[in-house]
Structure 1
Amino acid sequence: MKIAVMGAGALGGYFGGRLAAAGQEVTLIARGAHLAAIRERGLKILSPRGNLHVPAIPATDDPATVGPVDVIMFMVKNYDVESGARAIAPMLGPETMVVTCQNGVSAHERLGAIIGAGRVVPGVARIPADVPEPGVINHSAMWDTLVFGEADGQVTARVEGFRDAIVAAGATAVLPGNILHDLWRKFVSQATLASMTALTRLDLGPLRTNPDSRALFTAAMEETERVGRVAVPDLPGELVRKEWEILETLPDTMHASMLDDLNAGKRLEVDYLSGDVVRLGRKHGVPTPIHEVFLAALRPFKDGDPAGLAKDAVQEFRTRT
């Protein structure tokens, strides 16, 4: 199977590295220091499921040099979906499947509007991973699940084939009954986790144990679920309770990647997390006052850290404490 990973950061690098080590023909598309390190030293994965070093994995910053592939793992940030969709055009053959795993619930529709909805397979990644240094993926827990499926719920040969390739590579792949349900289930907690950890600059532990912040966390999740029930009428019940069961198992140090981006002065995906809760709430007539506050408070940082204020504030806080 010929596979390209568009956006070979923490998630794309993890799955791409495992697939390459298992014998699949994988090309990583990355940029900057991360790309340079992969070209020089290969890709290293540190994981409780087994460390891995792929010393000579093809990597480029130009999708046009790759040519048509069977599968594109589309792992770019939400704000790069449109530009990324145009960039992958040279890799699209007649039967190319594009598995997209952005945060939130809207990326697959935005991608499909550019490359054709029939090519797109929505996905949900549940894996704690980061890039501690260029060329290295740190996977910090035993779970590494990629859930994906046809938007219409069919189980096709192409999704079965890719699932089998991931499982053979030693990772976890699941074909759900309805991928839209999985997208919304994760979104119910994800949108709140991202905004609350970013706004408070706290990990999950303190937010989970403090009664007031836990109550706000729960109310924001319930708000998102109400929007989801109108947007996807057959959404399963008790999503907040089910997501809290997962949240309770996560380490106290868990936080959303949006907090890391905020602290680093990078762009934020807020428009596609709390922003999409608000947008879809307005579309379907569902009030979203909590996420409206989250969105308004984070919007000044969505294009990066204005005037470097956030990093200065974080450094001052750490110095004093």
Structure 2
Amino acid sequence: MRINQVGIVGAGALGLLLGERLVKTLGPEGVQFIADESRCRRYEQTGFQVNGQALRIPCVSAPRGKYLDLILFAVKSYDLPSALELIRPFVGPETILMSLLNGISSEEIIGEALGAEKVLYTVGQGMDATRVGQTLNYTVPGFWRLGEADGTESERLQAVVALYDQAGIAFEVCPDIRYQLWSKLMLNTGVNQTLAVLGGSYRVIHENQNDSRRIMRQAMEEVRKLAALEGVTIPEAEIDVWFRIVDSLGPDQQPSMLQDVEAGRQTEVELFAGTIRRLGARHGVATPINDWFYEEILKKSPPHSEGFGSRGLTD
């Protein structure tokens, strides 16, 4: 199995971050954004800038011929249902589907819609990419963890490994990918929401402004305790690992949730605090920090649909 044709749905920070590397490797004939016609026209007219360099990737609203080998979901959680319908014509029997979304639910939702056998798990960490308008800037590209749900090294996993190697995308193959998803959820629940509520760049965490490090740690502890009740044991030392990673990020960069708050957009609070609140209710565990995050972030952003965040967590 070899990956020659890649589709990316979503041209946010992560879509552009990977698109930049992939188009340099596969060329414009091997990478395409997938979007509706009006969005494609806008992408084609304006293009993008990544760290001051022009980036142009073709955009299509209908297949250009054969099915794609790999499709990356780089949308926000609330756009996932429409993204699933948009990419259906591009999905063939051998297409690999990978979600770059935060949280622990998107892979299940994609699998239910398009086939669980097509879904390969991935989670990114350590990047500080910030998109403003059509411009993306980053100082740390981060790296990706890849894995099958059952921990095996399949042919399709090896195909993605070969592509990432060729493109110079840093990665690690993880047989415990479910653990990695929970660990990343723990980070996002802590740092993204702390800064969304307190405001400011990563410098706020670096300098412990407004007691931010204590708040972030308490939020992450709530996730860690619930993960154990869901069968995933995360050692306390993992929190300190994430603090070291956050401390290495560009001090003037901001997480995407704060960018969404400042732009008046919907946020992914349902994926983070919403998920933890629902799991807390299921297990009878109090989640006071995430309750506070949830209420404060909803005050700052438009109303949210609970459909995505509640999938698989309310049974």
TM normalised by structure 1 equals 0.83
* Alignment deviations for residues 26-66 of structure 1 (CA, whole Å, 9 cap, x no partner): 111257997446424655432xxxx76555x3213x25566
Report the counterpart of residue 309 of structure 1 in structure 2: none
2: CA distance, partners of 1:128 / 1:37: 25
Report the counterpart of residue 33 of structure 2 in structure 1: 28
2: CA distance, partners of 1:137 / 1:297: 28
What amino acid sits opposite 2:211 in the alignment? D
Report the counterpart of residue 205 of structure 1 in structure 2: 203
Judging changes above 3 Å, is the alpha-carbon distance between structure 1 residues 63 and 129 closer, same or farther for their aligned structure 2 residues?
Answer: farther
Report the counterpart of residue 225 of structure 2 in structure 1: 226
2: CA distance, partners of 1:154 / 1:285: 35
Judging changes above 3 Å, is the alpha-carbon distance between structure 1 residues 227 and 254 closer, same or farther for their aligned structure 2 residues?
Answer: farther
1:159 paired residue among 145, 149, 157: 157
Judging changes above 3 Å, is the alpha-carbon distance between structure 1 residues 213 and 39 closer, same or farther for their aligned structure 2 residues?
Answer: closer
Structure 1 runs not aligned, ≥5 long? 306-321
What amino acid sits opposite 2:171 in the alignment? A
Judging changes above 3 Å, is the alpha-carbon distance between structure 1 residues 83 and 212 closer, same or farther for their aligned structure 2 residues?
Answer: same
2:8 paired residue among 2, 5, 8: 5
* Alignment deviations for residues 287-315 of structure 1 (CA, whole Å, 9 cap, x no partner): 2121012112222445369xxxxxxxxxx
Superposition pairs for residues 9-88 of structure 1, below 5 Å? 9-23=12-26, 25-30=30-35, 35-36=40-41, 38-40=43-45, 42-46=47-51, 53-55=54-56, 57-60=57-60, 62-63=61-62, 68-88=67-87
Give the match's secondary structure for 1:125.
strand
Report the counterpart of residue 192 of structure 1 in structure 2: 190
2: CA distance, partners of 1:236 / 1:161: 32
> How many positions carry a matched residue from both structures?
297
Conserved in 1, the CA contact under 8 Å of 2:131 and 2:137? yes
1: CA distance, partners of 2:130 / 2:257: 12
1:182 aligned to 2:185? no
1: CA distance, partners of 2:92 / 2:269: 33
Measure how far apart 1:154 and its partner are: 1.3
What amino acid sits opposite 1:303 in the alignment? P
Judging changes above 3 Å, is the alpha-carbon distance between structure 1 residues 302 and 211 closer, same or farther for their aligned structure 2 residues?
Answer: closer
Judging changes above 3 Å, is the alpha-carbon distance between structure 1 residues 41 and 263 closer, same or farther for their aligned structure 2 residues?
Answer: closer
Structure 2 runs not aligned, ≥5 long? 305-315
Measure how far apart 1:272 and its partner are: 0.5
Measure how far apart 1:284 and its partner are: 3.1
Judging changes above 3 Å, is the alpha-carbon distance between structure 1 residues 63 and 286 closer, same or farther for their aligned structure 2 residues?
Answer: farther
1:150 paired residue among 130, 148, 152: 148
Conserved in 1, the CA contact under 8 Å of 2:224 and 2:233? no
2: CA distance, partners of 1:301 / 1:19: 36
Conserved in 1, the CA contact under 8 Å of 2:224 and 2:234? no
1: CA distance, partners of 2:38 / 2:260: 17
Measure how far apart 1:21 and its partner are: 1.4
2: CA distance, partners of 1:52 / 1:157: 35
Root mean square deviation of aligned Cα: 2.5
2: CA distance, partners of 1:285 / 1:66: 52
Report the counterpart of residue 292 of structure 2 in structure 1: 293
TM normalised by structure 2 equals 0.84
Conserved in 2, the CA contact under 8 Å of 1:18 and 1:169? yes
2: CA distance, partners of 1:33 / 1:130: 24
Judging changes above 3 Å, is the alpha-carbon distance between structure 1 residues 144 and 245 closer, same or farther for their aligned structure 2 residues?
Answer: closer
Report the counterpart of residue 314 of structure 1 in structure 2: none
Report the counterpart of residue 111 of structure 2 in structure 1: 112
Give the match's secondary structure for 1:28.
strand
1: CA distance, partners of 2:284 / 2:85: 33
Conserved in 1, the CA contact under 8 Å of 2:100 and 2:124? yes
Judging changes above 3 Å, is the alpha-carbon distance between structure 1 residues 32 and 192 closer, same or farther for their aligned structure 2 residues?
Answer: farther
Judging changes above 3 Å, is the alpha-carbon distance between structure 1 residues 30 and 145 closer, same or farther for their aligned structure 2 residues?
Answer: farther
Conserved in 1, the CA contact under 8 Å of 2:104 and 2:185? yes
Judging changes above 3 Å, is the alpha-carbon distance between structure 1 residues 99 and 93 closer, same or farther for their aligned structure 2 residues?
Answer: same
Measure how far apart 1:100 and its partner are: 0.4
Name the % identity: 28
* Alignment deviations for residues 244-295 of structure 1 (CA, whole Å, 9 cap, x no partner): 2212222332432111111111111110111111122222333212101211
